[in-house]
Amino acid sequence: MSPKRIEKIPPKYRKAVEASLLEVSKRIQKQREALKLTQEALAEKLNLSPTMIQSIEQGRRYPSLPTLFYVCQFLGIEINISK
């Protein structure tokens, strides 16, 4: 998610959203490593750029929700969306 999109989130939810996205980023990296996949190999399997995978894992960029669900589904990561 770009900084401009983060700014559109109401301030009382912004920190929680950022923290959640960073947690998912860490889980993506951990699971990718557990599966012994390089960023390049994962990107190729998902038809994404290696730069996108790297940016997601480092928390510099957040994918759209459909892309996030696709990556997590491929890696077997469960995302719980609750209030």
- pLDDT single digits (tens) 31-58: 999 999 999 999 999 999 999 999 889 8
- Say how far apart CA 25 and CA 62 lie, in whole Å: 8
Domains and CATH numbers, the chain: 3-75 (1.10.260.40)
**Tally of residues, the chain:** 83
**pLDDT tier, 26 (very low <50, low <70, confident <90, very high otherwise):** very high
Check whether 72 has a pLDDT greater than 90: yes
Long-range contacts for 43-50 (Cβ within 8 Å, ≥24 apart)?
45/74, 46/70, 46/71, 46/74
Check whether 74 has a pLDDT greater than 90: yes
